[in-house]
Amino acid sequence: MSSLDSAVTAVHANARARLSVVLLAVSAFVIVTTEFLIVGLLPALARDLGLGIARAGQLVTLFAFTVMLAGPPLTALLSHVGRRRLFVVILLLFAASNALAAMATQPWLLALARVLPALALPVFWGTASETAVQLAPAGQGGRAVARVYLGITAAMLFGIPLGTLAADALGWRGSFWLLAALSLLMAGALALWMPDTVVGPRRALGEQARVLRQPQLLGHVLLSVLVFTAMFAAYTYLADVLERLMRVPAAQVGWWLMGFGAVGLLGNALGGRWVDRAPLGATLVFCAVLALGMLASVGLAGHGAFVLIALVLWGVAHTALFPLCQVRVMRAAPQAQALAGTLNVSAANAGIGLGALLGGGAIERFGLASLGAVGAAVALLAIAAGLLLGWLARSRSSTHGVDLPH
């Protein structure tokens, strides 16, 4: 009887763990939609607040660089906080911030409403990835992280387009009110159904920062900067590529972007399948696919079925690289996975900003048709850096007998 009770208890625990990963994925959906929805709302928002479009666009930059700078120290300071309580507080902060954005009548209020969630976003990604690994069965941690990152794909596929459509019906403030309600709903769901996970004792910030002295970790973080720079050098301007190079009617661009996100579901599945085996190797493979997809999509613009195949390759690789980079960096610092995960989020945001700048500069100097070559060149540079990182890891392992990430 006791063995049966133990089996039933184990089944319930596994079911609750799976539910927790799903809740984290839905929370990720809300968080990513909060970050990127503003891109689709900028014109209406700028008109309403009396801002120029360039100045309104600085709200996107403000969010990205707040994430980049604040993430690592905040994650280290909060590493001892119970995960359920931490996630609930983060979602409540997102609810309050979205409500503040909906009520903002001055640019500085809207800026504050963007800074507050930007402080919490990297803490969520670092700790949610670590928690997903803890909740997953042995050997399936990477797949669990990929399930959480499915929230990114869902946000790109449904959240951002539907939020923009909601803004057409309810105004841009209505979209932020909807996000506030969703954030509040997820805070309640996490409080009710997510189990507490084991967290280590409180450690001094300086003690945790020692991981930054590890060349291997820093190498993986810099590799993520390169990978995301390659990804967003072209992706930032994908709508313009579709409209101007591929001659997609402006009214249909949104549907094409939704299709790009849909094929990303396959990329997320493939990334989750391979990430537990060899995250570095899989990263390099998908960087090669990314380079081919970007180069062919722009180069074959107007060539019917061929450009569709190229866009599929691009979309699959683009989405697969999100969880691959996260797990790869976390494995480089197993003793401080939450902090490592947040470092990767900071690296990703640095790459997003650099990629947008690089792509914009390429358009001004060489024209829109140069984006494929520029993005592919950075992806190839990332592959070279990854090969060097792998070689250094093998050399160190053979010299010191250290088992390092593949």
Query: Which stretch, 44-48, 321-325, 337-341, has highest mean pLDDT?
Result: 321-325
- Higher per-residue pLDDT: 27 or 140: 27
- Measured CA distances, 11 to 2, 143, 382 (Å): 14, 19, 43
pTM assigned to the model: 0.75
The stretches of 50-171 forming alpha helices (DSSP H) are 53-77, 83-103, 107-135, 141-154, 160-170
Q: How much is the average pLDDT of 329-357?
A: 83
Coil, strand, or helix at residue 138? Answer: coil
Pick the CATH number of 208-406 from 1.20.1250.20, 1.10.10.10, 2.40.30.10, 3.20.20.140: 1.20.1250.20
pLDDT digits (tens, 9 = 90+) for 48-71: 888 776 577 678 778 888 888 888
Cβ pair 116, 96 in contact under 8 A: yes
Per-residue b/e over 263-284, b at no fewer than 16 CB within 10 Å?
bbbebbbbbbebbbebbbbbbb
Rg of the chain over Cα atoms, rounded to whole angstroms, equals 21
Structure tokens at 288: 């090669």
Q: How much is the average pLDDT of 249-268?
A: 80
How far apart, in whole angstroms, are the C-alpha atoms of residue 329 and residue 167? 37
Please tell me the predicted confidence (pLDDT) of residue 112: 95
pLDDT digits (tens, 9 = 90+) for 284-294: 999 999 999 99
Coil, strand, or helix at residue 326? Answer: helix
Across all residues in the chain, what is the average pLDDT? Answer: 83
Please tell me the predicted confidence (pLDDT) of residue 382: 97
Which of 125, 30, 160 has its CA nearest to residue 346?
Answer: 125
Cβ pair 257, 161 in contact under 8 A: yes
Query: Which stretch, 21-30, 90-99, 126-135, has highest mean pLDDT?
Result: 90-99
Structure tokens at 220: 């993986």
Cβ pair 195, 17 in contact under 8 A: yes
pLDDT digits (tens, 9 = 90+) for 143-174: 787 788 788 778 877 776 777 677 778 888 99
pLDDT over 80 (residue 92):
yes
For the chain, the residue count is 406
Give the domain ranges of the chain: 7-197, 208-406
CATH superfamily, with its number, for domain 7-197: MFS general substrate transporter like domains (1.20.1250.20)
Please tell me the predicted confidence (pLDDT) of residue 346: 86
Coil, strand, or helix at residue 385? Answer: helix
- Higher per-residue pLDDT: 403 or 290: 290
Q: How much is the average pLDDT of 287-315?
A: 89
First to last CA, the chain: 44
Structure tokens at 391: 């070689």
Structure tokens at 248: 């997609």
Instruction: Write 89-92 long-range contacts (CB < 8 A, 24+).
Output: 90/120, 90/123, 90/124, 91/27, 91/30, 91/183, 91/184, 91/186, 91/187, 91/190, 92/183, 92/184, 92/187
